[in-house]
Each structure stands twice: as structure tokens, then as C-alpha cells.
A and B are shown apart, each in its own frame.
Chain A
Amino acid sequence: DQQVKQNSPSLSVQEGRISILNCDYTNSMFDYFLWYKKYPAEGPTFLISISSIKDKNEDGRFTVFLNKSAKHLSLHIVPSQPGDSAVYFCAASPINGGATNKLIFGTGTLLAVQP
């Protein structure tokens, strides 16, 4: 059973416009959420994260929003650039303090930013 879901396999956006990538989770024990970006033939790289005590975190062009009641988070990229074209993974981690610190990923969304 997929605990972290990204229901849009792909997204195409014009350069300069906003890209919105969505992620849903089912496990209420998750309290830390991350977004990763992956180019072909490379490992995923960390982009931005958010703790469950916040509902928004911003870093330059990237903003992550968290709606705990809906178990939903989204990544906004403004303005989108061709170099943002990549696969984006959402990930979630359960409450810190446990021994495991398990990190669960979604299925990914392929973003294509058209020049």
C-alpha cells in the first residue's frame, strides 16, 4: 500500500509560469516531509523540506505548503525555468525519536518546463 502518493506522473509548464507539484500521504505518523529532484543517470538531490509544525517553507523560487488535515503537501516553483525539468519526488519521515528514521518516497512527477 502506497503511503506517499504523487498522482500526477507528469506535468508540462511554460517557462516563467508557476509549477505546482502535489503529494498526498496516508500515515498520520509522518511529521517531516521533503522534496527531491532527480536528473537522469544521477542520484536524487534534496530540494526543500517542511516540518509538521509549519504549514509553509520557502527557499528562493521553491515553496512547500503542508495541509496536515488533508494529509497533502505541494511544491510551488515560481518562476519555472527549463533547468527545473526533472523528476520530483516527495518523501515523508515518521516522528523523530524512533530508532528507524525510515524515509518513504512517492512515485515521482516528471516536470517538463518548455522554453
Chain B
Amino acid sequence: DAGITQSPRHKVTETGTPVTLRCHQTENHRYMYWYRQDPGHGLRLIHYSYGVKDTDKGEVSDGYSVSRSKTEDFLLTLESATSSQTSVYFCATLGNSGNTEAFFGQGTRLTVV
């Protein structure tokens, strides 16, 4: 399995506060993704990165920003958390050589109160 670590694993935060989730990988994978999982919606892509400093929006990017200053770290920031952003967030990475399977972290459960 790819070495993907998400931190924190659980977080409770208040509405209006900024929150940053971290994804760290040890596989030197080029592509990294942030997804959120919600009942009835499956896994929805928030933002993704195809290289250092190269990022783009996914399906549900409003209210989120990302940064990738080095290959191994991909940060997801909720600029001003809202209750609708209560979710389970998953980071994934994809290898460098064409189509192959993406590997997922264990997830971060975020609750915005």
C-alpha cells in the first residue's frame, strides 16, 4: 500500500474558522486528490494536483483551497468553515505511469458546529 497519511483524523471546529487538512505521501506520486464523502453523494472531487504548484478545481471546490509546495504534501484549507462542510475527507494519490489505481488515505472526519 502507498504510504498516505492524513492529519488530523478527527476534528471538530466552529463555524467561520479556517481549517487545514494535511495529506502526506511517501511514494513520490505525481497526482494527488482531495475528495469528500457524503451520504447519497459518494465521493466527490474537491481539488486535485498534477504536480508541485499545479492544482485545479474538482466538482465541489467552492469554499476550499489547496496548496502543494512539495511533492509529498497536499493541503486542503476550508477558508471559513460552514456546517455544510461537515464530512469525511479523503486524500488519494496516483502513480506517475499512466492509468493505474489511486491509493487512498484513511480519511479525516470533520465536524463543523
Contact = CB atoms under 8 A, between A and B. Distances in A.
A25 interface: no
Interface string B45-77: 100101000101011000000000000000000
Tell me the interface secondary structure of chain B in the complex.
Answer: strand
Given A42-B106, A49-B101, A101 B43 contact: no
Given A44-B90, A89-B43, A102-B45, A96 B50 contact: no
A44 B43 CA distance: 10
A15 to B, nearest CB: 26
Contacts of B44: 105
Interface in B99-113: 99, 101-107
A96 B98 contact: yes
Interface in B1-52: 4, 31, 33, 35, 40-45, 48, 50
Given A99-B50, A100-B56, A103-B102, A43 B42 contact: no
Contacts of B104: 36, 43-45
B94 interface: yes
Nearest to A35: B101
Interface in A87-115: 89, 91, 93, 96, 99-108
A43 B50 contact: no
A62 interface: no
B47 to A, nearest CB: 11
B3 to A, nearest CB: 13
A48 to B, nearest CB: 9
Contact of A106 (B4, B42, B99): B42
Contacts of A104: 45, 59
Interface string A66-103: 00000000000000000000000101010010011111
Nearest to A9: B40
Contacts of B54: 99
8 contacts: A32-B99, A42-B107, A89-B43, A96-B98, A102-B45, A103-B33, A103-B45, A103-B92
